[in-house]
Structure formats: C-alpha cells, structure tokens
C-alpha cells in the first residue's frame, strides 16, 4: 500500500467516497473535484473501473436497470484512506519547508 495511487484512480475512489454513483456521475464528480484537471472520457473511465473492480477496491451497488452503479468496497476505503494519509503527510512536509502558507492561522 506504500505505492502512490494514480491520480485518476484516486479521484474515482474519492468520488465514490460520498456514496454509490453511476458512470456519468463519477465522470462529472472527478472533473469537479479536480477542478477540471482530470477529465475522464468513457473509454478511460470504464477501463479504470474495470481494473478497480478486478482489484476489489470498488464493487457494484444496486442501481436501476438501465445502468450500473458502483460503490467503494471496504478494501477500497482502506486504500483511499492510506493514500489520503500519505498525501496529508506530504502536505505537512511541504508546510514544514515553508512552501505553502500555514492553514488555520
């Protein structure tokens, strides 16, 4: 779990942390939370979803019959938390080197 997640994977997991979501919802959420930096078109999106499903980090949620919804698995939540912690650690390090303004003060 020490390896960094790819940004797109991380964003998908993050988008699903809010709750189950279908493909287009994930697409929009990823774009929104990355401020437009990460844009997933359907090809890449479903390729990544297939990988994440295979890795067992996400699983299918009950959706309507037209399209499937996905949600974070327990394992996926752990991965996401670990990655978040890693990133937070990085941010602390960055702050300590005075590259970013202190937050909250």
> Among 8, 17, 20, 22, which residue sits at the site for another protein (rule: CB under 8 A)?
22
Strand arrangement of the beta sheet that strand 58-61 belongs to? 21-22, 69-72, 58-61
CB 18 within 8 A of CB 68: no
> Among 6, 44, 56, 90, which residue sits at the site for another protein (rule: CB under 8 A)?
44
d(CA 29, CA 105): 30
Three-class SS state of 71: strand
8 vs 82, beta carbon nearer another protein: 8
> Among 1, 4, 42, 91, which residue sits at the site for another protein (rule: CB under 8 A)?
42
* Contacting residues toward another protein, per CB under 8 A: 22-24, 27, 39, 41-47, 49-50, 66-68
């Amino acid at each position: 779990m020490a390896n960094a997640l790819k940004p797109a994977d991380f964003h998908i997991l993050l988008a699903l942390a809010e709750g189950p979501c279908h493909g287009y919802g994930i697409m929009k959420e990823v774009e929104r939370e990355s401020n437009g930096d990460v844009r997933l078109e359907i090809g890449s999106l479903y390729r990544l979803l297939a990988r994440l499903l295979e890795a067992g980090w996400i699983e299918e949620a009950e959706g309507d019959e037209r399209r499937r919804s996905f949600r974070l698995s327990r394992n996926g939540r752990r991965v996401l938390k670990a990655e978040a912690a890693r990133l937070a650690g990085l941010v602390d390090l960055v702050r300590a080197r005075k590259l970013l303004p202190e937050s909250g003060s």
